[in-house]
Amino acid sequence: MKTSESDGEDDINAGDHFEIPPDSPPASKRAQVEEVEDEGEPPIGPHDDCYVREFPHPASQWIRHADTAFESLLGELRATGKDVWEPFASEEEWELAMWLMKNVGQKSTDEYLNLPI
């Protein structure tokens, strides 16, 4: 099949008859927030964002009083006559154990605890 030079020019100039769209700013890729009126109950006043709902019972009434887990454990220790520092012999021993845990590695702590003192 024989092609002419004019066929090649038609291919090159094929885009010449299309209109170039006008320049427009690129669409922003940032998230945008749109203000929308609430559809719920209207506010009480023009500057209030509070809503009032009646409740059949006092909302702040206590149901019961209960000790915390720590208070229960402390009560059990005192009732049995055990020391509050148990399993440690005293507060000083408890403080030493806390210091060892905080400042010394496990291997060194084990070596210290195995000393024949």
Domain ranges of the chain: 89-117
CB-based contact 107:100 (threshold 8 Å): no
CB-based contact 88:97 (threshold 8 Å): yes
**pLDDT tens digit at each of 117 positions of the chain:** 555 555 555 556 655 667 777 777 777 788 888 887 777 766 566 666 666 778 787 777 778 889 999 999 889 888 998 888 888 888 999 898 899 889 988 898 888 888 888
